[in-house]
Amino acid sequence: MDVQFPPLIPGTLYLVATPIGNLEDITLRALRVLRECDVVAAEDTRHTGRLLKHFEISKPLLSYFQFNEARRSEEIIEHLGRGSKVALVTDAGSPGISDPGERVVKAAITAGFRVESVPGSCALVAALTASGLPAGEFHFVGFLPHKSGQRRNTLESLTTIPGTLVFYESPYRIEKLLAELVEVFPERDIVLARELTKKFEEFLRGKPAELLALVQKRSLKGEFVVLAGPAR
């Protein structure tokens, strides 16, 4: 059966989800958009360049990241104004979810341009659905502040929030976060999801104190999604 897919629309910003680990995370639609767009705006052009090379795609790359997103937004708007089809990607997952992209989207909408999501892999969804914790209601926090006082205040402000809480955390601060969860959420069920969609993907489940003791014995690498079940 010959399926005809609609062509990309000029002057549109396409938000393309990219693999969070396994290269097979990428969707057929994402590959088509990357092949047919005019320019790719990337959080890290080297990282995205390797991704495009793997799939034998060659496109002009425009660098944008947290500290130049405002300035680069203007350039992206200029591309859209010339009728270009712009694909926006981050290093992993969906643009705008604890990654750059939100400012660009807002600027494009404000300027009257079309924005289209090309959904795909997202660590938040991958971890939540496989965690075993309630997914009917959840609150996504993302990365907590780095400073201890601000982190503690943020955690304490979440004690009355219903549903499952979802955080992103680096391997360098996971032990610190668990120590804080021991104090703030001592009786909640916690799930640590790491290396999602990669060869060594792992889900660790238990109370905060149990998991803290575990990470103090093991060296756990990779980015973490930390989920805290609702209060009972």
Question: Domain locations in the chain?
Answer: 12-118, 123-228
| Dihedral over Cα of 33, 38, 40, 45: its sign | positive
pLDDT for res 24? 95
Which stretches does DSSP call E strand in the chain?
Answer: 12-16, 39-42, 61-63, 86-89, 114-118, 138-143, 164-169, 190-194, 202-206, 224-228
Q: Would you tell me how many other CB atoms lie within 10 Å of the CB of residue 165?
A: 23
pLDDT band, very low/low/confident/very high, at 59 (cuts 50, 70, 90): very high
| Mean pLDDT of the chain, nearest integer | 94
- Per-residue pLDDT of 153-186, as tens digits, reads 999 999 999 999 999 999 999 999 999 999 999 9
Nearest by Cα to 145 from 136, 155, 137: 155
Position 1 pLDDT exceeds 60: no
Angle between helices 148-157 and 174-184 (to 10 degrees): 50
pLDDT band, very low/low/confident/very high, at 2 (cuts 50, 70, 90): low
Collapse the DSSP code of 226 into the 3-class scheme (helix H, G, I; strand E, B; otherwise coil) and give the result: strand
Length of the chain: 232
Angle among Cα 156, 143, 178 to the nearest 5 degrees reads 55
pLDDT for res 66? 67
Q: How far apart are CA 116 and CA 173, in angstroms?
A: 35
CATH 3.90.1580.10 fits 123-228, yes or no: no
CATH architecture of residue range(s) 12-118: 3-Layer(aba) Sandwich (3.40)
- Per-residue pLDDT of 4-39, as tens digits, reads 788 999 999 999 999 999 999 999 999 999 999 999
